Structure 1
Amino acid sequence: MTKAATAAYPVVDHKVENLDGFELFYREAGPADAPVVLLLHGFPTSSHMFRNLIPFLADRFHVIAPDLPGFGQSAAPDHTEFSYTFDNAAELVQKLLTRLGITRYAVNVFDYGAPTAWRLALATPDAITALIVQNGNAYDEGIDNDFWKPIKRYWADRSQDNRDALRHLLTIDTTTFQYTDGMAHPERISPDNWIVDQALLDRLGNDEIQLDYFLDYGTNPGLYPAVQEWLRTKQPPTLVVWGGNDVIFPAAGAHPYRRDLTDIEFHLFDSGHFLLEDKASEVFPLIHDFLARKLG
């Protein structure tokens, strides 16, 4: 039997941690004593989006991928009983890291994972060892497009009409669009993605949870100057892998990272929002090689 045939495939564990009464689900793989890589998902998905990347990295990295509150398999209490903010999401992720004894980690920032990670970085500026930026925004340029206009209208005026105007973003048509729009190879995108995500979005009360997150996203632009200062000061090694056809976080939000970072590797792909579904054969090796060089 060849060496390749006998090589062990990394085991991925699926766990739930009770954090002061809030049950947070996470996926974990890789050697416990290896450098830690934290994978933070976005809307409308969960750690499910990393299901293929996790074992690819787990040969030499300790990989942690949580589901944010209200997403995936994590607890999703009614929005009147829990405040769905990025501050609270970051606090729960930090509690998980503390519970697991993790004080230093590389982090993959994507979509909602970016504002979650920025809060972690601002709270503990020396904790992050490296960044993988995948359609994760930190600049005003990244949200200065038509997609954000009705959301910004809601930030400015929290009326029920403006809230209801965003409900179409929670439909199967929009979820499917996020996975398929701008993809160079749509045949590579498994329909399981939007079927799973939509089933979770359609849970009773989850629409209000997601609308609360849309509203709280308005707190992020105010943090961008501090995040940019953190980038300039700490200069984390950074790999940018960005789907250039994304209409939610367009390429305009990718380029400014090069203003603030010196140790940066920049790749813009002919792909859409969920780059990892379309370009796994190219992006996975880039991420693995980058982490191997930067984390040792």
Structure 2
Amino acid sequence: MIADRPSDLRSIAMASSASSTSSAANRTSPAVPVTHHRTAVVEGLKIFYRQAGPLDAPVVLLLHGFPTSSHMFRNLIPALADRYHVVAPDYPGYGQSDMPDRAEFAYTFDRYAELVDGLLDQLGARRYTMYVMDYGAPVGWRLALKHPDRVAGFIVQNGNAYDEGLKGFWDPIKAYWADGSDASRNALLPLLTLETTIFQYTDGVSDRTRVSPDNWVHDQALLDRPGNNDIQLDLFYDYRTNLPLYPKVQAYFREFRPPMLIVWGKNDVIFPADGAYPYKEDLPDVETHLLDTGHFALEDKADEMVPLIRDFLAQKVDSRP
């Protein structure tokens, strides 16, 4: 039919507009995943964790580094939670978890792994992929050695499992390991200052405007709590226990061949790229991506990392249609 009168044109325009509105209303927009902020009591301690995604979906466990908390995963969680059950805890002394007196609680990586393990038991997580970063790596390795059958895979971001990954930045910490003296301990106090926290977020980053200053404001406020300095220094000292664990972790890699994705900030001076290369010796099928950024790669390279992580999970972990 050809419209040759103004009334006909108006009728057609109105019908077209109504049809367009109806079609737009009928289109289903993707749901935005909701992150829940919860607390569980594990061995008498309140352990804060962020949780999102379908409870019956494959579990992705996010293990944070120093000096941050599950806050470092605030953007990654909703990027995965449409398809995965994502859990990101805070260790004691970090984030929103309890900070017990060090006279009553041993701040060690062994204890952290035990508490995360207890949280996973409460959540009924019997199999999971671990995202390990910085301190999250030694926590994750302990979980894997305890429950090798529960590990579906690893995403490693600036997390060490080889002696090659501990370069010059670690020399003052190694001096403390060697003598355990008050002088060596106090020499590490500058690592807990705002200047160093900002350095961790910005060194090696090409576009600093991509990194939110909320990160170091948030982290430093928690570092500056009374008594937290000594907690962090205790953990610096306990990090020495990870090195004798490396051969066991490497043997675990060779025996169980867990799928692994490495997304590593190659400009990081704390955990340099030297620590990323040796994984391939024990896991020939590891997928490695060295990104042009620093220590906290998610802060400025999430747009590159999220597609890699989702592809890895879809291909290696998630067998659902």
Please say if residues 151 and 214 of structure 1, whose CA atoms lie closer than 8 Å, have aligned partners that are also in contact.
Answer: yes
RMSD: 1.1
Superposed counterparts of 1:120-159, under 5 Å: 120-143=143-166, 145-159=167-181
Shift of 1:69: 1.3
Q: Whole-Å Cα distance in 2 between the matches of residues 46 and 259 of structure 1?
A: 31
Residue of structure 2 equivalent to 1:13: 36
Distance 2:158 2:301 in 1: 13
Contact 1:56 1:284 in 2 (8 A): yes
Partner residue, 1:240? 262
- Tell which deviates more after alignment, 257-266 or 111-120: 257-266
Counterpart of 1:51, as a letter, is: R
Is the aligned partner of 1:93 residue 2:110? Answer: no
Q: Which residue of 2 aligns with 1:161?
A: 183
Give the Cα separation in 1 of the matches to 2:32 and 2:26: 12
1:198 to 209, 220, 243: 220
Q: Is the 8 A contact 2:92 2:98 kept in 1?
A: yes
Helix, strand or coil for the counterpart of 1:18? strand
Match of 2:97 among 74, 95, 100: 74
Q: Partner residue of 1:172? A: 194
Counterpart residue number, 1:215: 237
Spell out, residue by residue over 1:179-229, the C-alpha distance to the aligned partner (whole angstroms, 9 max, x if none). Answer: 000012211000000000000000010000000000000000000000000
Distance 1:71 1:170 in 2: 13
Measured in 2, the distance between the counterparts of 1:20 and 1:181 equals: 38
Residue 251 in 1 paired to residue 234 in 2?
no
Q: What amino acid maps onto 2:55 in structure 1? A: A
1:45 maps to 68
- CA shift, 1:262, in A, is 2.5
Task: Give how far 1:72 is off.
Answer: 0.4
- Name the SS for the 1:219 alignment partner: helix
Between 197-206 and 73-82, report the one with greater CA deviation.
Answer: 73-82
Amino acid at match of 2:240: G
Q: Tell me the amino acid that sits aligned with residue 85 of structure 2.
A: H
In the aligned structure 1, how far is the partner of 2:72 from the partner of 2:255? 31
CA contact (8 A) 1:240 1:267 kept: yes
Shift of 1:5: 7.0
Return 5+ residue gaps in structure 2 as ranges: 1-23
Shift of 1:103: 1.1
Gaps of 5+ in 1: none
Structure 2: distance between partners of 1:247 and 1:105: 30
Alignment CA distance shift 1:261-1:199 (3 Å): same
Give yes or no for contact 2:43–2:115 (8 Å, CA) kept in 1: no
Identity rate, percent? 63
TM-score, normalised to structure 2, is: 0.90
C-alpha distance in 2 between matches for 1:116 and 1:4: 44
- Give, as a single letter, the amino acid of the residue that structure 2 aligns with 1:268: L
| Structure 1 residue 293 corresponds to structure 2 residue 315 | yes
- Give 3-state SS (helix, strand or coil) of 2:148's partner: coil
Alpha-carbon distance in structure 2 between the residues aligned to 1:67 and 1:263 = 31
Contact 2:65–2:133 (CA under 8 A) maintained in structure 1: yes
CA pair 160-35 structure 1, distance change in 2 beyond 3 A: same
Equivalent residues of 1:236, 1:263 under 8 A apart? no
Q: Structure 1 residue 7: deviation in Å? A: 2.0
- Residue of 219, 240, 252 corresponding to 1:230: 252
Matched with 1:181 is 203
Which letter maps to 1:286? L
Instruction: Give the AA of the match of 2:276.
Output: A
Structure of higher CA gyration radius:
2
**Which residue, 82, 85, 94 being the options, matches 1:59?**
82
C-alpha distance in structure 1 between counterparts of 2:63 and 2:216, whole Å: 18
The CA deviation at 1:19 is 1.0
Give 3-state SS (helix, strand or coil) of 2:149's partner. Answer: coil
Contact 2:70 2:90 in 1 (8 A): yes
